[in-house]
Structure 1
Amino acid sequence: MTSSAVATGLLSAIQARTAKAGVIGLGYVGLPLAMSMAKAGFTVTGFDVDPQKITAIAAGESYIEAVSSAVLQAEIAAGRFAATCDFKGLADCDVIAICVPTPLTRQRDPDLSYVENTCRTIAETLRPGQLVVLESTTWPGTTEEVVKPILQKTGLAAGKDFFLGFSPEREDPGNRDFATSTIPKVVAGDGADARELMIAFYGAVVKTVVPVSTTATAEAVKLTENIFRAVNIALVNELKLVYDEMGIDIWEVIDAAKTKPFGYMPFYPGPGLGGHCIPIDPFYLTWKSREFDRPTRFIELAGEVNTAMPYHIVARVAETLDRQAGKALSRSRVLVLGLAYKKNVPDIRESPSLRMMELLKERGADIAYHDPFIAEIPRTREYLDLMGQRSIAFDEATIRSFDLVLVSTDHDAVDYQSIADWAPLIVDTRNIFARRQIVSTNIVKA
């Protein structure tokens, strides 16, 4: 039972589905979360600084693969969802979820500017009886040490006047086996009342909630999940380089190893890490650990290995052109097949394809890309010179005009048999041709 009248009132509103929810940041995390809240019966307002997103939502057009336009239109028509750039509407929300980016600086330090600015915006209309939840991935202690002080500058006290929680997002773009509502949700509150409110609200939105003792613990859960992947991917990337030198196919090794029914979990090599989470989140813990004089050698080494992979792939491209075509990379045309960081999604955040395109350009290659999900390269922080480049046509004459095709992302929609038939040379970083049992002497694994 909640211990205060303010908490009891909010709990009753959550249980009756009369509590109004707000979601700040309508991207890959925020929009699916808003839809899950609306489907659960809550009236939801989405907030975003990007007017193009608000315009698309008003037209019933989803820009997120995990949310169909039909679902979006249904929730809008039912009056359960609307979106706006006007953050004054936060005053009407009983539960506010923060789903904004937490990138790194160029020095690999956490950039919490989006979170801090969002909290200052919330503080402008903060009132008693609101539950504020951070969902953005960050270092353990952020909710307590960053979010809470900003909100308490209003004179309102956390745990008494308003309530604070953390629940890490677990979205996996392109994964059709799970939706936001079916992925178990880790929740934590700042104090007993906040914890109970978190359990009640998210318990109404998702199938399973997993309460933990503190917000710092919940923050650590998310980092642990992504560090686990980053370290293991780095391991297989390093093994790939070693086994290549020995003439051993890493993909065959993994396929055989994963037949063991215990004590092994398969991870797969690639051209590097992409997405907003795995290349970035581990360094939030690395940064925080300095405060305690504790080195994070595994995390830092994994980062070094994964960051080096695009350089290895470009070197393999140059070697393949030299050995099999007798041509220098600087005089060659290279097609990068797949720009997204993972297959079947239009997401290029931290994509190694962008880094490889940059490296190929630096070495004098004439480059282009084809991606069925990305018609044009948008503005990015690090690759401004690639902005505006468009995906080329997929036809025999075009493919044959390149000296080499570099498979960076293995989208299912691509006709790989035609690539094998048309391309003079192929460097495959995803083992897609072997997986599809396409055999050709012009294919080189990398």
Structure 2
Amino acid sequence: MAFGGSLWTLILYMTIFIHFLLFAWGAYYRLIRMQLPRGISCRGKLLLFDFSLGYGLMLAGILEKLGICHRFALLRAACLFIPVMRDPKLIIKDLDFDGVPGRVYWPKTSPAGKRRGIIFFHGGCALFGSVRTTERICRAIAHQTDSVVMCPEFRLGPEYPFPTAVQDCCTAAIHFLKNAEEYGVDPSRIAFAGESSGGTYATAICQELVTREDLPRVRAQVLIYPFLQGMDFNLPSYQQNHSIPPLFRKRGVVLGLKYVTGKTMNVDGILKGAHVPPDLREKYQKWINADNIPEEFKARGYVPVAPAPFSEELYEQVKRAGETMFAPLHAEDDIIRQLPETFILTCEYDVLRDDGLLYKKRLEDHGVPVTWYHVQDGFHGIMAMAGWGRILEYPSTQKCLQSVIQFLKGL
């Protein structure tokens, strides 16, 4: 028995050692072979983070093939290790919002009247992420804007594919709007905010509710490097930043379609535009077009690409990705012109940069006030590190967060 126990201990240590060697070699290889633009700060830190994410996804893929769990379960499990710390300046409660769980943050100071309310939607492509992953951002916003912040814990794919996540967010938002005063919130000062896919939900729900006369009008929407369109993946930012971590062009499309279809797809045809019918391409051309991107954002390189021949089969597989609850830039003009004051944050080294720029132009063209903050050395997900200290934060992380906070304080 003792020998058997020693053998298994030896095997365990050898397994850990081999994993360590593979991780170290992979990190070294990534640092040496993958080149990032000089405009990005802390490039080594970003590469190490991306390798860690890729390594985790690789291990998760092995577990999925073995039938143990799907690959995103491992990422969700990692979120459980994010510590939830007490905050002496906030009251924090987990509540139910018409069947959707969520977490609410109240400042403990006595307000002069009703506070503004902020509904913050976390990112993660509706496949991973949670209230815990955005905890530090929500706390900072509640503290520094003296607002009541609510973050819904919506259901995730692939178990609950599109449109479950955005519908859960919409349900929670409607409940909060209807019952704002019970949470100490002024119904006329409620903003929707979100990071990455959370920004998608924020504006998609604004569009969904803009004609609802039975609800308070949303005061503003805050969109932090959001995904907004599924028509053209060859815009300048998609070409320039296709291999910049953590959101590679192909990785982003694969994750998005995993949420829409529940399946892992070959996206080569979609990247070439073969999924868009000619009539829809003509319809959306006036909104989703590289001609609408300012010339300075083409300086790092852009070559117009003709779309591949239309594939009816491919379109049938992914046609729900054209719905506005998934791709809000596809909305009609009469909806766009009714949207509230908007804050948009974009990052230079992000494939989704041009989604934000196109939405900014479209909103402005329809008379919607827009505050735009562009992070010159930023990349996708840079604000998610806020509150994690100097080891994980990047030079512009706090600048991103403070730009959002300053906008919210002005509402």
**TM-score, with structure 2 as normaliser:** 0.29
Higher relative CO (Cα under 8 Å, sequence separation at least 6) belongs to: 2
